[in-house]
Amino acid sequence: MVVGAGFGGMYALYDLRRRGFTVRVFERGSGVGGTWFWNRYPGARCDIESMEYSYSFDEDLQQEWTWSQRYPTQPEILAYAEHVADRFDLRRHITFGTGVGAAAYDEGTDVWRVTTDTGEEVDARFLVLATGVLSATRVPEFPGLERFRGQLHHTARWPVDGVDVTGKRVGVIGTGSSGIQVVPQLAADAARLTVFQRTANYSISAENDRLTEEQIRDVRADYPAIREKARRSFTGSTVPINRQSALAVPEDERRAQFEARWKLGGFPFLGSYDDVMRDLDANELAAEFVRDKIRSIVRDPAVAELLTPDDHPIGSKRICVDTGYFATFNRSNVRLVSVRERPIEEITETGLRAGGEHHELDVLVLATGFDAMTGSFTRIDIRGRGGQTLAAKWADGARTYLGVQTAGFPNLFTLTGPGSPAVLCNMFLAIEQHVDWVGRALSTMREEGHDVIEATVEAEEQWTTHVDEAADGTLYKHANSWYVGSNVPGKARVFLPYAGGVGRYRKICDSVAEDGYRGFVLGRARAGTPA
């Protein structure tokens, strides 16, 4: 059984089915696409380039699908998901509109007993959670939220029919990637837009453009090599990192380099120099360059100062990639309200009170993020050996072996789970690698007469230590962010993804498989395969 029909679940279905397994998928949405099914807010766009942010498993697919822009929009990515579902005839094995509420491992039969929120009970030998890394939405407990009589929308639950804000007074809480993308779009239509910012964020202009026929042709001609290079790389991307140190070059040269990368747009800015993501002094030079850009774009110096990040290294939170975000604050209908020193006090029937002032609102948009990387797993009542819940096991921080399994939960696979590179690389690459690994493991087990696989506690402990050490060499721990779970009150502060490099991670996973699944115990189930 596979839970979720986003890009992870779709490829798991495709791969496991072609290996001859009987697969059933449950998806709570009414269609495929996962993240891109739910995040329909205006301006939603991927921050990875389209020709890389796509499946590589089928050569005809990657040759025939044509992306229109460098950074794909949500509608285009969703259209791609739907195309893949049709092309590979995936829908007949997906039950839509059905979430999985609970799953319990029966130690007597080595079977997962799964209960859906429509009341169905299904047994499965293997349970693959493809529930997404940024899918469990987070709504802060603002006093009075339930009283609000206007329209209330989380960016990741945006209505399919859209929201008409023409002539309306709109408030946005949150200035992460979602807030930064939605703000310019809402500002264009709303009568008044008020942005409630707690933490100023770095954002790099996307410099998005339409892809030319020549660009598409060049990538297609070289696709296999480009994909392979990405798989073996550190970041999962083919964008070159300048191997010089930012500290080793004269100031004018450094400025020219930052300027060139700024013009290139998006993530490549962080690769301006080799040490931007590793050395605080080098990082500060890049950060100051971006702060200067903000000051030069935003006309009101007081607003510019509020928008200028000062409490974390650039890139230590997921960098934002925007289209016209900072310039939006030059519009006369847009106001920035800092809720850093004086937090949001309450939501009222007609708006929001912050800093002693009441803001009248017709529409309130929550761009307040997700319980990332673990929330979509722990929100399901998953019980492994001895009835232990996954939520309880991970209460002090997620512990996994390779991010793909956790001890005490046999035959349960967490696709792109905590302890795997996941969000630190192109998600398609992460998904394909995990699904291929799981599929190969199940095929090998079938050949060898095994049907139970479980990570050992020792392997899990070693891997968890390794994940923690890998993060120590980076700047990620210097920020409060969803990478470390600090955006969710009460969540253990643990750096969740594996920061040791995508290529290295792949090699480790391959060597574990080649070594007879080192760190896993393989065995025979106590009862036959469930029907």
> For residue 238, what are the contacts with CB-CB under 8 A and spacing of at least 6?
52, 226, 229, 230
Q: Which two tokens stand for residue 372?
A: 């990332």
Contact indicator for 137, 329 with CB cutoff of 8 Å: no
The answer to whether 176 contacts ligand NA7 (rule: CB under 6 A) is: yes
What is the Cα–Cα distance from 509 to 515, expressed in whole angstroms? 10
The answer to whether 369 contacts ligand NA7 (rule: CB under 6 A) is: yes
Q: How far is the CB of 49 from ligand NA7 (least distance, A)?
A: 15
| Of the candidates 35, 32, 77, the residue with the CA atom closest to the CA atom of residue 53 | 77
Which among 15-23, 65-73, 368-376, 490-498 is the span making contact with ligand NA7, rule CB under 6 A? 368-376
The answer to whether 194 contacts ligand NA7 (rule: CB under 6 A) is: no
Q: How far is the CB of 369 from ligand NA7 (least distance, A)?
A: 3
Binding ligand NA7 (rule: CB under 6 A), the pick from 367, 398, 427, 496 is 367
Bridge-based pairing of strands 344-347 and 351-354 is antiparallel
Collapsing DSSP states into helix, strand and coil, what is residue 383?
strand
Angle, in degrees to the nearest 10, between helices 280-297 and 251-264: 60
Which among 242-250, 273-281, 362-370, 383-391 is the span making contact with ligand NA7, rule CB under 6 A? 362-370
The answer to whether 134 contacts ligand NA7 (rule: CB under 6 A) is: yes
What is the Cα–Cα distance from 312 to 433, expressed in whole angstroms? 32
CB nearer to ligand NA7: pick between 49 and 460: 49
CB nearer to ligand NA7: pick between 71 and 482: 482
What is the Cα–Cα distance from 34 to 368, expressed in whole angstroms? 18
Q: What number of chain residues touch ligand NA7 (CB under 6 A)?
A: 20
Q: What angle do CA 454, 459, 463 make, to 5 degrees?
A: 120
What is the Cα–Cα distance from 56 to 472, expressed in whole angstroms? 32
Q: What angle do CA 497, 442, 420 make, to 5 degrees?
A: 5
CB nearer to ligand NA7: pick between 343 and 528: 343
CB nearer to ligand NA7: pick between 143 and 516: 143
CB nearer to ligand NA7: pick between 16 and 373: 373
Q: How far is the CB of 183 from ligand NA7 (least distance, A)?
A: 11
The answer to whether 306 contacts ligand NA7 (rule: CB under 6 A) is: no
The answer to whether 318 contacts ligand NA7 (rule: CB under 6 A) is: yes
CB nearer to ligand NA7: pick between 132 and 519: 132
Residue nearest to ligand NA7 (CB): 176
Binding ligand NA7 (rule: CB under 6 A), the pick from 199, 378, 420, 464 is 199
Residue 516: beta bridge partners? none
| Of the candidates 162, 180, 219, 229, the residue with the CA atom closest to the CA atom of residue 47 | 180
Binding ligand NA7 (rule: CB under 6 A), the pick from 101, 140, 324, 530 is 140
- Sheet (strand 25-26) strand order: 94-95, 25-26, 2-3, 127-129, 412-414
Binding ligand NA7 (rule: CB under 6 A), the pick from 17, 93, 157, 198 is 198
Q: How far is the CB of 179 from ligand NA7 (least distance, A)?
A: 5
Which among 170-178, 389-397, 498-506, 512-520 is the span making contact with ligand NA7, rule CB under 6 A? 170-178
CB nearer to ligand NA7: pick between 198 and 220: 198
Q: Which two tokens stand for residue 296?
A: 């030069």
The backbone region for 109, taken as left when phi is positive above 0, alpha when psi lies in -120 to 50, beta otherwise, is alpha
DSSP 415: T
The answer to whether 175 contacts ligand NA7 (rule: CB under 6 A) is: yes
The answer to whether 339 contacts ligand NA7 (rule: CB under 6 A) is: yes
Residues near ligand NA7, by CB under 6 A: 134, 140, 173-179, 198-199, 318, 339, 344, 367-370, 482, 487
